[in-house]
């Protein structure tokens, strides 16, 4: 097995991982390995799609006619065909 050295992490992050390792009854190394495996195997980290993620990079005041405006998700009644 290979080793990885992680430098310059905050004390708070290290404390959080140590607490999680204790709660899961694992060593610090095993906890970090589990976290990495879960991060790499899991679903995308965002609840938004790629288009929404890209749209959020542009501040609302910069939206112009060149951009497609974000979808309005306001609830509306369905059409009446009678």
pLDDT digits (tens, 9 = 90+) for 45-62: 667 777 777 777 877 777
Tell me what pLDDT residue 45 has. Answer: 62
User: What is the phi/psi pair of residue 26, to 5°?
Assistant: -130, 160
pLDDT along the chain (82 residues), means of 10: 88 92 93 88 71 77 68 83 86
Tell me what pLDDT residue 43 has. Answer: 66
Where do the domains of the chain lie?
11-62
Mean pLDDT over the full length of the chain: 83
């Amino acid at each position: 097995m290979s080793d990885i050295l992680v430098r310059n992490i905050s004390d708070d992050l290290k404390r959080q991982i140590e607490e999680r390792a204790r709660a899961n009854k694992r060593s610090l190394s095993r906890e970090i390995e589990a976290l990495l495996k879960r991060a790499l195997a899991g679903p995308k980290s965002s609840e938004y799609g790629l288009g929404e993620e890209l749209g959020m990079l542009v501040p609302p005041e910069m939206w112009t006619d060149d951009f497609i405006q974000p979808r309005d998700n306001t609830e509306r009644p369905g059409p009446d065909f009678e």
